[in-house]
Amino acid sequence: MRQRPSQLPLDLSFRPANGRDDFVVGSCNQVAVDWLDHYPAWPGPVTVLCGPTGSGKSHLLAVWGHAAGALIVQGPDLQVATLNDVIGHAQAIAVDAADLVKEPDCLFHLVNMVRDRNGHLLIAVQDPPARWTFGTADMRSRLAAAPLLELGPPDDMVLQSVLLKQFDDRQLLPDADVLRFLTDRMPRTFDAARAIATRMDQLSLAERKRPTKPLARKVLIDLGYLETTPEE
């Protein structure tokens, strides 16, 4: 009798853990974490958090937003005409993907608003404002003068811990040798960790298998992170 082919489960959403205790701290982000932990004793009203996609910027924004009671908004959603209504009387404001604003003047006005009310503004971007080519020179210079917290590439400990967190968010429990197998062969990015955990979750459910090294190898091959080679 032929076996029915396995089917990938529906792409059901899961709820990631975004609390302070869930954020993995290492050499790549220690400076940023220390700076945010010292709020509100910042020397100025504006701080820029910079790092590649998946480096933990949104997580840190959420952590700081909770601690500071801050309003968290998305850069692409901001418009000059509605800025006052959106911001209201908030004293602490966090803007995720601030470099994706459709109207760069929003950031200029937002900086002025925060300064006028003696508040604090934390913006998350991919590239430092000093490298921006959009918006006014005044806006870029003001943001470039603000403290810059850069999130670097993860070291072995952080990458393995991030993988473990991604698996734990999906209620997967890989052995330590599976984590080592993955971190030795995967791209050293947080995006790769998220993609691996997502694919592992899909295959684990579809094939009704726990996270093992053979399954991990298949995931890496599926994602193009590993060439098809004989089993090690």
Whether residue 137 lies inside any domain: the answer is yes
Q: 131-170: b or e for each residue (b if 16 or more CB lie within 10 Å)? A: ebeebeeebbebbeebebbebbebeeebbbbbbbbbbebb
Taking only Cα atoms into account, the Rg of the chain, rounded to an integer number of angstroms, comes to: 21
Pair (118, 41) in one structural domain: yes
Side-chain-side CA neighbours of 100 within 13 Å: the count stands at 12
Asked if residues 93 and 121 have their Cβ atoms less than 8 Å apart, the reply is yes
Pair (38, 98) in one structural domain: yes
Whether residue 16 lies inside any domain: the answer is no
What is the pTM assigned to this prediction? 0.77
Domain CATH code at residue 210: 1.10.8
Domain boundary among 135, 150, 165: 150
Helix H segments across 127-175?
A: 137-144, 156-169
Q: How many domains does the chain have?
A: 2
Domain range for 178 is 156-222
Pair (63, 169) in one structural domain: no
pLDDT at 157 over 60: yes
Flag the least confident range among 48-52, 100-104, 204-208.
204-208
The residues near 203 (Cβ < 8 Å, ≥ 6 apart) are 8, 209, 215, 218, 219, 222
Mean pLDDT for the stretch of residues 202-227: 93
Give the per-residue pLDDT at 5.
34
Give the per-residue pLDDT at 20.
52
Give the per-residue pLDDT at 22.
61
Identify the residue with better confidence: 157 or 108: 108
Pair (63, 78) in one structural domain: yes
Cross-strand partners of 92: 120
Q: Determine the number of helices (DSSP H) and then strands (DSSP E) in the chain.
A: 9, 5
Pair (176, 92) in one structural domain: no
The pLDDT confidence band at residue 133, using thresholds 50, 70 and 90, is very high
Q: Please count the other Cβ atoms lying within 10 Å of the Cβ belonging to residue 33.
A: 20
Domain CATH code at residue 112: 3.40.50.300
Mean pLDDT for the stretch of residues 54-79: 92
Q: Tens digit of pLDDT for each residue in 78-92?
A: 999 999 999 999 999
